[in-house]
């Protein structure tokens, strides 16, 4: 009897050890993968010339415009070099004074291709931000939808959760979203937390690509304002170009944090 108990005890201990090893391996893999992803993205950022050495005069408008034009020229040349490495690159998204600073990809032939792929098209838990397949950034659809992961280690689109705080929004309301052909800025008009895949989503942001009329566009903006966490005081009108950024929000079941912004430059 004692021998059987000892045998069962050894089996249980053995199983616990195996479970511990497997669990630890998953955790180690997660953080190693996350570290590599950060290193890879840092390497891409280093290849972008943002004209840090260009002096912008404070008292000469004409010279200011020339300086900004040179900065944009250098950035676009950098994007073209990255495009040569991976022609799925369609743009770059950045929000000043945050960790949001990423290439934006799109592979129209494969749904969610970059959800778990890095710039080298290899597996990565964090993937890369990507444009929804039915959107177009070059002949821009009325709405360009960008998806990206929110990881628990604070990487990828995790920093977007800070926009739940209006004070943070007030300090970071401008989004730089460049295509590889043009540089643009967007002003955030709404910050929402909504549920998806419910069977009856109250705000199916992923369906709004092009407005067939001013009425349809206005209805979308009205819904944005209705479900926004706070009033930004900013709106949009028919003819404006929008971006909608979506990432996971675990505060509700099947939650998504959705940020809608309009082009201002």
| Burial class for 88, CB neighbours closer than 10 Å (0-12, 13-18, 19+) | buried
pTM attached to this predicted model: 0.85
Helix (H) or strand (E) holding 41: helix 2-45
**pLDDT at residue 20, as a whole number:** 53
Tell me, what DSSP letter sits at residue 160? G
Q: What are the beta bridge partners of residue 243?
A: 144, 261
Q: Please write down the HEC assignment for all residues of 3-37.
A: HHHHHHHHHHHHHHHHHHHHHHHHHHHHHHHHHHH
**pLDDT at residue 4, as a whole number:** 57
Q: Please name the residue that has the structure tokens 């290439």.
A: 103
**pLDDT at residue 42, as a whole number:** 87
Q: CB neighbours of 182 closer than 8 A, spacing ≥ 6? A: 76
Distances (CA, A) of 54 to 21, 47, 51, 136: 53, 17, 5, 32
pLDDT band at 153 (very low <50, low <70, confident <90, very high): confident
pLDDT of residue 159 exceeding 90, the answer is yes
CA gap 158, 148 in Å, rounded: 9
Residue 30 burial (CB count, 10 A):
15
CA gap 47, 177 in Å, rounded: 17
Fold of 88-265: Sortase; Chain: A; (2.40.260)
Mean pLDDT of 120-137: 96
Contact 126/149 with Cβ under 8 angstroms?
Answer: yes
Q: Where are the domains of the chain?
A: 88-265
Mean pLDDT of 144-173: 95
């Amino acid at each position: 009897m004692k021998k059987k108990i000892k045998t069962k005890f050894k089996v249980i201990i053995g199983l616990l050890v195996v479970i511990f090893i497997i669990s630890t391996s998953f955790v180690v893999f997660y953080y190693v993968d996350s570290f590599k992803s950060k290193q890879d993205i840092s390497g891409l950022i280093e290849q972008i010339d943002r004209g840090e050495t260009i002096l912008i005069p404070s008292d000469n408008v004409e010279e200011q415009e020339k300086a900004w034009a040179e900065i944009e020229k250098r950035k676009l040349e950098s994007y073209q070099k990255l495009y040569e490495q991976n022609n799925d690159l369609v743009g770059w998204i950045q929000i000043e004074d945050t960790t949001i600073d990423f290439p934006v990809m799109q592979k129209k032939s494969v749904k969610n291709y970059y959800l778990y792929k890095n710039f080298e098209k290899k597996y990565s838990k964090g993937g890369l931000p990507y444009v929804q397949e039915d959107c177009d950034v070059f002949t821009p659809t009325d709405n360009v939808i960008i998806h990206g992961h929110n990881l628990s280690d604070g990487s990828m689109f995790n920093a977007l959760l800070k926009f739940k705080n209006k004070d943070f929004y007030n300090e970071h309301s401008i989004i730089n979203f460049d295509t590889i052909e043009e540089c643009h800025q967007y002003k955030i008009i709404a910050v929402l937390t909504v549920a998806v895949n419910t069977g009856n989503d109250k705000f199916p942001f992923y369906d709004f690509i092009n407005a067939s009329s001013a009425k349809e566009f206005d209805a979308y903006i009205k819904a944005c304002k209705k479900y926004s966490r706070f009033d930004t005081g900013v709106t949009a009108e028919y003819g404006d170009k929008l971006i909608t950024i979506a990432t996971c929000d675990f505060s509700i079941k099947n939650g998504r944090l959705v940020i809608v912004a309009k082009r201002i430059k």
